[in-house]
Chains A and B, each alone.
Chain A
Amino acid sequence: MSGYPHRHLLGIENLQPSEIVAVLDTAEGLREILDRPLKKVPALRGKTVVNLFYEPSTRTRASFEVAEKVLSADSLSIAAAASSVQKGETLLDTAKNLEAMNPDMIVLRHSAAGAAHFLARHCRAAIVNAGDGAHEHPTQALLDALTLRQRKGRLEGLRVAIVGDLLHSRVARSNVWLLSKMGAKVVLCAPPTLVPPGIDALAPVTHRIDEAVEGADAVMMLRIQRERMTGAFYPSDREYHVRFGLTEARVKRAKKDVLILHPGPMNRGVEIASEVADGPYSVILDQVTNGVAVRMAVLLLLLGAGGES
């Protein structure tokens, strides 16, 4: 395939805008397969993909698995919680052993930033980063971009607010990179305790959600990642909701045709009110469908012809 000259997908940070467009265009062409009576094409017959997940995941893992099956790749999924990782095997040993079975691709989700880059240095297989710590989650940013582009017809010039737990969010980082590369205007919003140092170099940061949402074409809500929190970052869920939750009243400050995105899983009543999550401007379920299309595109571009640099 043309337009994506890399062997791996490790992050958005080092992609060119034209490469991002190539993934989105390919995903657009592939999405139709999901509506066919026979949802399968022979494109990746005989290719093997290992989904190696060191952290819990519903959407990302399911959507990689669906994408692999639709494209006829053979896939196996390994959840660290039920594997030899529990017996103390290191990431490299696990990966090397899996690689001895000759997979063409490893899809990795890991709690350590840089884990996918590490595997890419040590493995022959193509590596796809399905989330590494608080660093990057490139396929999420790509599916968010696809959703925005479908609804708005463009990315350039869109005003996008990203609101919530920026400190622990790999989704935020990948999205800031992608959206800025594509010419969108990003505003970040979080309580001061949940802003990682240095992120204001990527996009302006505000601590007032009303200000962030004002005139926005799209609002991306981030999940409060309780499982990663080691201290008290905010007094209570209730107070967080009052100060930083996306409510219907706040949505009214955005443009009339605003889109509300959330990467899931949602904490209803904390970062997002239920009426908003289920409201007419919510494209949260579109994101899920587009997630399969984007992952199909990534598989095809990396495993089809021309995927090697």
Chain B
Amino acid sequence: MAGSAKGAPSAAPPGFRVRRELMDAERLSRALARIAHQIVERRRDAEGLVLVGVRTRGVPLARRLAVLVAEAGAPPPPVGALDITLYRDDLTTVAPQPVLRRTEIPGSIDGRTVVLVDDVLYTGRTIRAALDEIIDFGRPARIKLAVLVDRGHRELPICPDYVGQTITTTRDESVQVLVQEDDGADRVLLLEKAPEARPRRPVKKKRGRRA
């Protein structure tokens, strides 16, 4: 059920093509609603809550979670945005990075519960950078992690507290989260590396090694 033909914004990044759709708009919003309810149920997290989205797709997800948390009966939490580029462990070694964007932390985070929000949890290195950056802004009572998709392959001892969906992937696959705010539609796609010669899509052979 490769949904790539819908004309909707599913354009895979260069070198990748869509393998299958993991979430449509409805499943995505149900996943977020569930996370919001779980946050509200843990009263300790819901009080003094600050949601901080990791740029770029974590930010619209954090904004939506804030609305859902308020709808679920907790006080509406402030929302921040984190650009972790300057805290990356590969900043000076890896190929071009996207243009740096502003980090915005809404007021003091001292003594509060910060829930970091990101779209996909993979190696954990982004979250390591985000933790270091957050801690430079103050001393929260606790930091939690909410992700829409956990795709495994952790390289650091990092574990999410709130997860929309856990999936098994191979390392040469990729998970792409599209959101209405930035991409014009809500979708989560599993991508796979396209064969070297691009025009040869039909020649795809079934390979047993994909999970």
Contacts and interface: CB of A to CB of B under 8 A. Distances in A.
Given A41-B136, A42-B132, A43-B86, A2 B102 contact: no
Given A37-B138, A305-B90, A2 B96 contact: yes
A41 B99 contact: no
B109 to A, nearest CB: 10
Contacts of A47: 92
Interface in B98-142: 98-104, 132-133, 136-138
B55 to A, nearest CB: 10
4 nearest A-B residue pairs (beta carbon): A29-B100, A306-B96, A43-B86, A2-B96
B99 A22 contact: yes
A41 B87 contact: yes
A300 interface: yes
21 contacts: A1-B99, A1-B100, A2-B97, A22-B99, A25-B99, A26-B99, A28-B102, A29-B99, A29-B101, A31-B102, A33-B86, A36-B137, A37-B137, A40-B136, A41-B87, A41-B133, A43-B91, A47-B92, A305-B91, A305-B95, A305-B96
A114 interface: no
Q: At the interface, is chain A mostly helix, strand, loop or mixed?
A: loop
Interface of B: 83, 85-87, 90-104, 132-133, 136-138
Sorting the interface of chain A by its residue count into under 10, 10 to 19, 20 to 34 or 35 or more gives 20 to 34
A44 B137 contact: no
Given A25-B99, A29-B101, A44 B92 contact: yes
A32 interface: yes
B100 A26 contact: yes
A128 to B, nearest CB: 17
Contacts of B104: 32
A41 B86 contact: yes
B137 A38 contact: yes
Given A38-B136, A41-B136, A42-B132, A29 B83 contact: yes
